[in-house]
């Protein structure tokens, strides 16, 4: 969610009953601008909040010229002081996926080896490492999982150049009211998987500069997204049932869109049994 339009955007997603207090909004509005200046980011997105047992993590993402490049992620416990999270690795994601339960709210908290499987613990012993996972590593891995699974954008909002870089589409004026209600009009803003498996015939009608990502219509399990009209039908809101707390909004015929997460950082593993 764009930092500059945060107050208005939070109002548009408030239908889910989550949000920030006026004090937190005011503090974030100032601190995110300072964050952008200090780290020299081209853009700063307020990603959301992961609620722990003893505190909450407020997350921001810094972007460079290539919007598809790995993002810099930062967290704050008070919306004022920000700390840079380490770059995520596949190993961090794999180990974080095996952890169950709530976040503690303490970045230095260590999950003991008894909370991961025996194979990982044995390998860590062999490598001479302490068989622990810090909550800071779990946090960045969870953010990566959520971004990869349910971080979405409207079709046409970004374009891919012949050199492979991804930039914001200056000609994007928003989806039409009809298109905005379709899951096929929204893309996962991550490396495509299903697109690579399509045949040349299926790709014939696609625009390679715009249709370079996977759409939501083929997400598994089907029914993992809800599409609703709010604010008198002027705002389209998508909510993920896989990662409860992820809300995306788009105002048709405008460039207003974004997503934000307010949750516990736990994946809804019961979803297939709920549909």
Tokens 């996972």, located at residue:
133
What was the pLDDT predicted at 78? 92
C-alpha dihedral, 44 to 50 to 56 to 59, nearest 10°: -10
Q: Measure the CA–CA gap between 104 and 117, rounded to whole angstroms.
A: 20
DSSP category for residue 148: H
Q: Measure the CA–CA gap between 217 and 215, rounded to whole angstroms.
A: 6
- Over residues 214-227, mean pLDDT: 88
Does the predicted TM-score (pTM) go above 0.85? yes
- Over residues 164-193, mean pLDDT: 91
Q: Measure the CA–CA gap between 132 and 233, rounded to whole angstroms.
A: 49
Percentage of the chain surpassing pLDDT 70?
89
Integer Rg of the chain from CA: 19
226, 241 contact by CB (below 8 A) = yes
Give which of 32, 38, 25, 27 is closest to 60, Cα–Cα: 32
**Strands 235-240, 225-230: pairing kind:** antiparallel
Domain ranges in the chain are 3-85+144-265, 90-143
What was the pLDDT predicted at 212? 86
For the segment 69-85, what is each residue's pLDDT rounded down to a tens digit? 889 999 999 999 999 99
**Strands 257-263, 43-51: pairing kind:** parallel
105, 53 contact by CB (below 8 A) = yes
Work out the mean pLDDT of the chain and round it to a whole number: 86
What was the pLDDT predicted at 70? 87
Q: Which two tokens stand for residue 87?
A: 């770059």
Total Cβ atoms within 10 A of residue 183:
16
Give which of 185, 187, 163 is closest to 69, Cα–Cα: 163
Q: Which two tokens stand for residue 265?
A: 């950082």
Q: Measure the CA–CA gap between 237 and 62, rounded to whole angstroms.
A: 24
Q: Which two tokens stand for residue 32?
A: 């995110």
For the segment 100-146, what is each residue's pLDDT rounded down to a tens digit? 889 999 999 998 755 455 565 566 555 555 567 899 999 999 999 99
Percentage of the chain surpassing pLDDT 90?
53
What was the pLDDT predicted at 145? 95
Q: Measure the CA–CA gap between 49 and 99, rounded to whole angstroms.
A: 19
Residue 182 has pLDDT above 80, yes or no: yes
DSSP H/E element including 73: strand 72-76
């Amino acid at each position: 969610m764009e930092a500059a339009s945060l107050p208005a955007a939070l109002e548009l997603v408030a239908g889910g009953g989550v949000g920030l207090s006026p004090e937190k909004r005011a503090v974030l509005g100032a601190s995110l601008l300072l964050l952008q200046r200090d780290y020299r980011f081209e853009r700063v997105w307020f990603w959301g909040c992961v609620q722990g047992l003893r505190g909450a993590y407020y997350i921001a993402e810094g972007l460079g010229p290539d919007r598809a490049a790995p993002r810099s992620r930062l967290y704050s416990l008070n919306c004022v002081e920000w700390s840079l999270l380490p770059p995520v690795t596949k190993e961090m994601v794999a180990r974080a996926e095996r952890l169950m339960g709530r976040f503690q709210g303490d970045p230095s908290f260590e999950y003991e080896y008894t909370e991961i499987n025996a194979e990982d613990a044995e390998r860590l012993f062999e490598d001479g490492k302490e068989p622990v996972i810090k909550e800071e590593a779990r946090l960045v891995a969870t953010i990566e999982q959520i971004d990869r699974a349910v971080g979405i954008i409207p079709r046409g909002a970004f374009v891919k150049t012949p050199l492979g870089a991804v930039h914001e589409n200056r000609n994007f004026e928003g989806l039409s009211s009809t298109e905005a209600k379709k899951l096929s009009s929204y893309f996962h803003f991550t490396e495509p998987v299903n697109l690579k498996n399509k045949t040349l015939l299926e790709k014939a009608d696609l625009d390679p500069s715009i249709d370079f990502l996977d759409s939501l219509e083929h997400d598994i399990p089907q029914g993992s997204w809800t599409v609703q009209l709010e604010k008198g039908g002027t705002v389209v809101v998508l909510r993920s049932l896989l990662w409860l707390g992820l809300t995306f909004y788009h105002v048709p015929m405008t460039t207003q869109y974004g997503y934000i997460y307010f949750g516990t950082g736990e994946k809804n593993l019961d979803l297939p049994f709920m549909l």
